[in-house]
C-alpha cells in the first residue's frame, strides 16, 4: 500500500512539475512576444529604409525631368532672349515686355522657376539638387529681376509676383552659405576647382 508520505511526495513533485511547466510556458510566451516585437521593429525599419530610397529615387527622377526642361529648344531660346535683353529700370523692362518674343520667353522662364520654388517650399525637391545642377541659371534669373521686382509688384497690384522664385533664390543662397564650394561666383585668382 502507498503510504501517506509517498502520496505527499508525489503531490509535491506534481506541483513542482506544474509550476515548472507554467514558468516554462510563461518564459516561452515572453520570449516569443519579444522576438515578435523585434521582428516587427526590424520590418518597420526595413520598410522605412525602402520608402526613403523610393522617395530619393522619385526626387531624382522628378528633378531630372525638371532639369531636362533646361535642355529643350524652347527653354534655351527663352533663356537666350532673356539674357540678351537688358534693362536699367522698370520702365525699360515694361517697354521690352511689349515684344511678343520677350513676353513668351519670360513666361517660360518665370513659370519654370516659380514651379521649382513651389516644389522646394513644399519639400518635394531638395534645394541641394538645384544648387548642384542649375545654381548659376537660377541666380542669374532672379538677380536680373531683383532691381525691378518691387516696382513691378506695385504696378501690377500683385504682391506675390515671382514670390516662389524669390523663395527659391533665398533658399539657394542659404544653402550656398553653408556649402560655399557650390557657389557659382568666380573668385579672383581661382584657376582650378581643386583650390
| Residue 75: predicted pLDDT | 95
Distance CA 45, CA 42 (A): 5
| Residue 188: predicted pLDDT | 45
Give the phi and the psi of residue 98 in degrees, each rounded to 5. -80, -15
| Residue 195: predicted pLDDT | 37
pTM over 0.85: no
| Residue 40: predicted pLDDT | 84
Distance CA 79, CA 102 (A): 10
SS3 of the chain? CCCHHHHHHHHHHHHHHHHHHHHHHHHHHHHHHHHHHHHHHHHHHHHHHHHHHHHHHHHHHHHHHHHHHCCCHHHHHHHHHHHHCCCCCHHHHHHHCCCHHHHHHHHHHHHHHHHHHHHHHCCCCCHHHHHHHCHHHHHHHHHHHHHHHHHHHHHHCCCCCCHHHHHHHHHHHHHHHHCHHHCCCCCCCCCCCCC
Alpha carbon of 174 to those of 31, 76, 119, 120, 157: distances in Å? 51, 27, 17, 13, 29
| Residue 127: predicted pLDDT | 94
Pick the closest to residue 128 from 14, 26, 119 (CA basis).
119
Digitized pLDDT (tens) for each residue of the chain, 195 residues in all: 557 667 677 777 878 787 778 878 877 888 888 888 888 888 888 888 988 888 888 878 888 888 899 999 999 999 999 999 999 999 999 999 999 999 999 999 999 999 999 999 999 889 998 999 899 999 999 999 999 999 999 999 999 999 999 999 999 999 999 998 877 665 544 443 333
Grid cell of 161 as nine digits: 509676383
Grid cell of 42 as nine digits: 526590424
Amino acid at each position: 500500500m502507498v503510504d501517506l508520505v509517498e502520496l505527499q511526495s508525489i503531490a509535491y513533485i506534481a506541483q513542482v512539475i506544474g509550476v515548472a511547466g507554467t514558468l516554462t510556458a510563461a518564459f516561452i510566451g515572453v520570449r516569443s512576444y519579444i522576438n515578435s516585437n523585434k521582428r516587427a521593429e526590424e520590418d518597420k525599419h526595413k520598410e522605412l529604409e525602402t520608402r526613403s530610397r523610393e522617395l530619393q529615387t522619385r526626387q531624382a527622377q522628378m528633378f531630372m525631368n525638371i532639369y531636362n526642361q533646361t535642355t529643350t529648344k524652347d527653354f534655351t531660346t527663352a533663356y537666350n532672349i532673356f539674357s540678351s535683353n537688358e534693362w536699367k529700370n522698370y520702365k525699360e523692362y515694361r517697354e521690352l515686355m511689349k515684344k511678343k518674343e520677350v513676353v513668351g520667353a519670360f513666361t517660360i522662364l518665370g513659370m519654370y522657376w516659380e514651379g521649382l520654388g513651389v516644389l522646394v517650399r513644399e519639400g518635394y525637391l531638395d534645394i541641394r539638387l538645384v544648387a548642384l545642377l542649375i545654381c548659376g541659371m537660377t541666380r542669374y534669373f532672379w538677380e536680373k529681376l531683383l532691381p525691378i521686382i518691387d516696382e513691378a509688384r506695385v504696378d501690377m497690384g500683385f504682391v506675390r509676383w515671382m514670390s516662389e522664385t524669390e523663395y527659391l533664390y533665398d533658399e539657394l543662397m542659404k544653402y550656398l552659405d553653408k556649402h560655399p564650394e557650390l557657389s557659382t561666383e568666380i573668385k579672383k585668382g581661382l584657376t582650378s576647382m581643386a583650390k
